[in-house]
Amino acid sequence: MRRINLLPSEDRRRGGAIPALTRSSLLGVLLILGALLLLAMIGLYLYYYVRLGNEEEQITQLDQDIAREQARIQELAPFRDLQARLDAKKPIADGIFRTRFPWDEFLRGLSFVIPESTALDVFAGQATPINIQAPAGGAPEVQNLEPPGTITFNGFAQPEYQNVSDFIVRMNNLRFLANASLAIAELDRQNFPQPGAITFEVDAELVTRIGENGDEVLLGTEEDGEGEGDEVNRAAGEGAGPPGARASRAGVER
């Protein structure tokens, strides 16, 4: 079956041709879209290029940090087992700290309690040996190390035997000493001008209390420095003596 176009020939020619204006408009739109797409691609390229550069800088910085940390690890490698060695030696250090005789506190306390009517010439003492096996936190009646240590004081006093007695009382009141007793006391007028002076020798026991300053060595603390003043004051207060001893010294000073 054949189709027949009944339109006039002029109309048939006009309907089959696309206007030139329509073709140029379409071409312009396609060029604009292509330019926009190209700009978008260039923008994405620049964005990822900058971002990639930043990531590479961060990776380089991380590599340098890792290298530095590895160098520090190598430097600290000899101390890798330091904590284990400290843990192995800590019981011994704790035992020494717990049972040592505090000579520093003893001498500070002694300097506060010596009567002004007496003067020490020399003293010789030996504390109880350290016992690292001594238990920590024992009962009050078993806190002293046995046997006690010994100490001997040699000194001079003004020519009244009451001054020597005053010295013995003060020593017995010092918390580090016990059972102070007179060994020798005699008036010496040959080596001292009139009225002379009394030379004396006093023996006492050195008492070591287990864990008095703590049962463990505390590393990196300031407790010792903070409590130093309290220890001195306590030693001075304990060694001040009874009212009779203070009255005796006041009489000598007058």
Residue extents of the structural domains in the chain: 19-80, 101-217+224-253
Is the pLDDT at 241 greater than 70, yes or no? no
Identify the pLDDT of residue 172: 92
Query: What are the pLDDT digits (tens) for 17-29?
Result: 545 557 778 888 8
Q: CB atoms < 10 A from the CB of 228, how many?
A: 13
Which residues have C-beta within 8 Å of that of residue 144, sequence separation ≥ 6?
207, 208, 209, 210
| Spatial contact of 236 and 169, defined as CB atoms under 8 Å apart | no
**pLDDT-wise least confident of 8-22, 88-102, 113-127, 195-209:** 8-22
Query: What are the pLDDT digits (tens) for 85-99?
Result: 887 888 787 778 778
Query: What are the pLDDT digits (tens) for 137-195?
Result: 655 455 787 888 999 999 999 888 899 999 999 999 998 899 999 998 888 888 887 88
Confidence of residue 202 (pLDDT cuts 50, 70, 90): very high
